[in-house]
Amino acid sequence: MNSSSKIFTSGSLCLYNCCTGEERNSDLLRDGFGDNPLFYCLIAEVHNHQKPSGKVTVGFAMYYFTYDPWIGKLLYLEDFYVIQAYRGLGIGAEMLKRLSQIAIRSQCNCMHFLVVVWNQASIDYYTRRGALDLSSEEGWHLFRFNREELMDMAGEE
């Protein structure tokens, strides 16, 4: 890397968001930094003397722990992002390395995540590093019920 950067485990209020309002910020604070966190976050920071804090956040990885009844605990990577200007510097690779170390330390057998199939650059990025596309290999489809459907189901006899 030709700019000094650090990957931190987020214990502060610094959360990277592309677009957020006060409401979402308070949700994220409660859900990630309360007594029972629902998610964990790594952030990548770069020194920047022009900023009052002396640094700027250029990437993040948000994850939590899930469960596969066949093999046990998994680490689930929900969001993974490096801003355009800081790509190609190995920041993403460093975050994946930290995530893998966290997964192993937490007795997780695998890391799971979702990628949109038209995003060929992302697909290449992950498959180059040894990831398997389970949807293509094994035929898994992801289904979703939204809140409206949940209310319909819960409301029926």
Residue 107 falls in which region: left (phi positive, over 0), alpha (psi -120 to 50) or beta? left
Judged by CB under 8 A, the residue of 3, 26, 54, 149 near another protein is 149
Closest to another protein by CB, 20 vs 54, is 20
Asked if residues 78 and 89 have their Cβ atoms less than 8 Å apart, the reply is no
Residue the block writes with tokens 């997780």: 108
54: DSSP letter? S
- Contact string (CB under 8 A) for another protein, positions 63-102, x = contact: -xxxxxxxxxx--x-xx-------------x--xx-xxx-
Give which of 132, 76, 125 is closest to 99, Cα–Cα: 76
Indicate whether 124 belongs to the interface with another protein (CB under 8 A).
Answer: no
Indicate the residue type of 108: C
Applying CB under 8 A, does 11 fall inside the site for another protein? no
Contacts to another protein by CB under 8 A: 17, 27-28, 31, 38-39, 62, 64-73, 76, 78-79, 93, 96-97, 99-101, 103-104, 109-118, 123, 126, 129-136, 138-154, 156
